[in-house]
Amino acid sequence: MQMYIFSVITEAFKTKGKKDKDFLKGVSLMEETKSNWPQGIKRTKQRERVLFILENAKDPLSATDICAKMEDGKGSAWLSTVYRILELFVKKGVAVKTNVMNQEMAVYEINHPKHKHYAVCINCHKIIKMDNCPMENFTPELEENGFRVVGHNLEIYGYCKDCDHLEK
């Protein structure tokens, strides 16, 4: 739920209205196009942008965050569209959905093989990155065979050093 700086071009959009978007014709809207587009996903402008934003994000982003980041003149998308794209990305294994400390909002990240996990303070909700992952070299014993693991979520919760004095 952060605020982002909107570009001048977006402001131009706002004043000129939607019908006039083509005053930008000739300006490449696709500069971020990746050469390796994920399999089985139809390539659209909006999806390209969401993928690009996720790939370049330092922290997990909510749908609203992504929507805000798209308001920079390089091709925006409606919030419900962003949700649909994210749902697809998760289903295809491109992205990972998490609820840090089960807060109100879900956040999304690229499903990197080298991912991060987080510890969250129960009291102040501060998020602390974790550098190792217990899932490396671990084989889950599932009650049903034939499950193909695509990814995982892990979250540690407790009290950070500033909140540890609180009674248990």
Smallest distance from the beta carbon of 90 to a copy of itself, in angstroms? 7
Max alpha carbon distance in the chain (Å)?
62
Distance CA 93, CA 113 (A): 11
- Per DSSP, the residues of 36-85 read SPPTT----HHHHHHHHHHHT-SS-EEHHHHHHHT-SSS----HHHHHHH
CB 62, min distance to DNA, A: 6
Tell me which residues in 19-58 interact with a copy of itself (CB under 8 A). 39-40
Closest to DNA by CB, 56 or 103: 103
Q: Which does 77 bind (CB under 5 to 8 A by kind): DNA, a copy of itself, none?
A: DNA
Q: Does 99 bind a copy of itself (CB under 8 A)?
A: yes
Closest CB to DNA among 135 and 151?
Answer: 151
Contact 92, 50 (CB under 8 A): no
Q: Is 117 in the site for DNA (CB under 7 A)?
A: no
DSSP 95: E
Q: Which two tokens stand for residue 68?
A: 């805000």
Chosen residue from 13, 47, 51, 95 binding DNA by CB under 7 A: 47
Q: CB of residue 102 vs a copy of itself: minimum separation in angstroms?
A: 5
- Rounded to the nearest 10 degrees, what angle do helices 79-91 and 45-55 cross at? 70
Binding site for a copy of itself (CB under 8 A): 39-40, 90-93, 97-99, 102, 106, 117, 119, 121-123, 128-132, 134-135, 138, 140-161, 164, 167-168
